[in-house]
Amino acid sequence: MPAAAGPPAGPPAGPPALTDAGLPALLAARGVPGLVDVHTHFMPANVLAKVWAFFDEVGARTGRPWPITYRTDEPQRLATLRSFGVTAFAPLAYPHRPGMARWLNEWLREFAARTPDAVPTATFYPEIDAPQYVEEALEAGLRCVKVHVQVGGFDPRDPLLDDVWGLLAQAGVPVVTHCGDGPNRGEYTGLGIFEEVLARHPDLVAVLAHAGLPDYTAALDLVHRYPRVHLDTTMVGTAFTQAFAPLPADWPARLVDVADRVVLGTDFPNIPHPYAEQVAAVVGWADADPRLGDAFLRAVLHDTGARLLGG
C-alpha cells in the first residue's frame, strides 16, 4: 500500500538568521578580518544612565518601545563587543548643554587610554572655549569626533563653531554627525542646514550618522558632491527603522558608486535589537547586487572604518 501523501512542500527555507554568536564565523567565511565600528557609545555612568532612562520613556511617548539590548556594566559591554569580532571602535559621547563637552572629553581620553581597542574621541558644543579644547584633543591624538545636533539643540552653523570645523577639516579627523531629521526633527536638524557647514568646510571628513535617516537620498547626494563625506550604517535597514524610515527599494544599487564611503556604525549598546541584525543588513546589501559582493562587505565592516579611524 503506498504511503500517504504528506502536506505540499512549501518554498525552500532561507538561510538561518544571523546571530551574535555567529558573527565570528560569518567574518571568517567572507574574508573580513574584524569589525571596525565608528558609532558606539561609552560614557560616564551617570550620563549613560540618563540616556537609558530617555530610551525607556520613548515607548510610552511614541508607542514604539526601545529596549536597551546590551544593558550591562562597562566590562561586560566591552567583552560583548569583542566577542562579536570587533577589533576597533569609536566610543562616542555628546553634550546637551554648555560646559559639558570639556568634561566628557577628559573622560573619553581616560577611557581610550585604558581600552586598547577604543580610539581617542571627543565632542564639542558651541561655546567660547570650544576651539581650545578641540585643539587640545587633537594634540592628544584625537581620531574621531561626535556631534549630535538633535540632542544638543544647537545650530551647526553657529559662528562659535567655525574655527572648530576648520580645525577638524584641516586635521582630517572624521566627525560622526547626527544632523538628519530622524528619529525626530529638531530646530537645527536637516541635511540642508548641515550642507551649509560643508560648503564652508568642503574638506571636512563628515560621517553622516544613520545615513542621514530618514532622508537617505539627500545624504547620498552630499556623498556624491563632497569627496570626504561618508555614511554610517547605524540602525539603517534594521526592522526597527524600516518600520518608520524604510530604505529605497534600490538601496544596494545606489551604493555601488559610493561603496568606499559607507562605514559600519551600530549605536551599541543603545540598540533595540541584536548587534548581528545590523551586520546582517549590510550582508543583505552586499549580496543583493553583484557589483558589491564581498569587496563591499569587507570595506563597510572593516577597511573603511580602519582607514577613517587610522592609528
- pLDDT tens digits, 20-69: 999 999 999 999 999 999 999 999 999 999 999 999 998 778 888 999 99
Grouping H, G, I as helix, E, B as strand and the rest as coil, residue 112 is: helix
For residues 101 and 93, what is the distance between their CA atoms, to the nearest angstrom?
9
Q: Please state the domain extents for the chain.
A: 29-309
Residue at grid coordinates 553634550: 95
Percent residues over pLDDT 70 in the chain: 95
Amino acid at 297: L
pLDDT of the residue at 61: 80
Helix (H) or strand (E) holding 304: helix 304-309
Grouping H, G, I as helix, E, B as strand and the rest as coil, residue 287 is: helix
The CATH code for residues 29-309 is: 3.20.20.140
Q: Pick from 201, 155, 212, 217: which is nearest to 178 by CA?
A: 212
Whole-model pTM: value is 0.94
- The chain-wide mean pLDDT, for the chain, equals 94
**Distances in Å between the alpha carbon of 31 and those of 22, 255, 293?**
14, 20, 11
CA dihedral 247, 57, 53, 180 (to 10 degrees): 30
pLDDT of the residue at 184: 81
